[in-house]
Amino acid sequence: MKLLREKIQNEGIVLSDGVLKVDSFLNHQIDPILMKEIGIEFAKRFENEGITKIVTIESSGISPAVMAGLELGIKVVFARKRKSLTLTNHLLTSKVYSFTKQEENMIAISSQYLSSTDRVLIIDDFLANGEAAKGLIDLVNQSGASVQGIGIVIEKSFQKGAAELKNLGYRVESLARIQSLTKGKVSFVEDAQEVTV
């Protein structure tokens, strides 16, 4: 997705060989117009999968997920990272380790909003080691619903998550795929390479 790659190139800050900060449009400040374009792109890529629900995780997954939900005309459920007092019944839970925050979180979804007939699209802002995505897959599986695809805004293709999820048989659609962040520079996976990756 060209618009997104340009935004990353112009505004992304490479903090280290592994960490890209995109706080100006995705993780802290949000660009709603870009989010709408991202929603349209996810909807286009998954429109033939019969998706009935989108599952994401707070907080940065919410904007792209809601825009995709708007395009597909379906509801979004966001997993919470810890229990809230008003979210206590019928909880499905899974553990997720965040390498960025160096901590383990419990993530939770109420089973009330997923049924065994749901065909789920998982959406998240980043895919690195795949911890969050695997936690969300676990929650969807617990509900009896099926994961039809995984939509990622920014994939760090040099980390293991994308390859692992594809090996598990999931369709992963990432709107920007980063090959490396070395020397403070963002390099994207080239189109030619995308065919074979």
Instruction: Tell me the one-letter amino acid at 129.
Output: N
Residue 159, number of CB atoms within 10 A of its CB = 17
| Residue given tokens 């998550």 in the structure block | 161
Residue 23 binds a second copy (CB under 8 A):
yes
Nearer to a second copy, 32 or 190 (CB): 32
Residue 138 binds a second copy (CB under 8 A):
no
DSSP per-residue letters across 73-95: T-EEEEEBSS--TT--TTEEEEE
Nearer to a second copy, 111 or 141 (CB): 111
Element (H, E) at 98: strand 91-98
- Could you tell me which residues come within 8 angstroms of residue 146 by beta carbon, excluding any fewer than 6 positions away? 118, 119, 120, 140
* Shortest Cβ 148–a second copy spacing (Å): 18
* Nearest in space to 30 (alpha carbons), one of 122, 136, 123, 153: 153
Nearer to a second copy, 45 or 190 (CB): 45
Binding residues: 20, 27, 128-132, 156
Residue 12 binds a second copy (CB under 8 A):
no
Could you tell me if 140 and 114 are in contact, meaning their C-beta atoms sit under 8 angstroms apart? yes
Q: Which stretch binds a second copy (CB under 8 A): 62-70, 116-124, 136-144, 184-192?
A: 62-70
Residue 122 binds a second copy (CB under 8 A):
no
Among 5, 14, 18, 30, indicate the residue that binds a second copy (CB under 8 A). Answer: 30
Residue 40 binds a second copy (CB under 8 A):
no
Q: How far apart are CA 12 and CA 101, in angstroms?
A: 19
Question: Which residues contact a second copy (rule: CB under 8 A)?
Answer: 15, 19, 21, 23-25, 27-33, 35-36, 58-59, 62-63, 65-67, 69-70, 73-78, 80, 84-87, 100-102, 109-110, 112-113
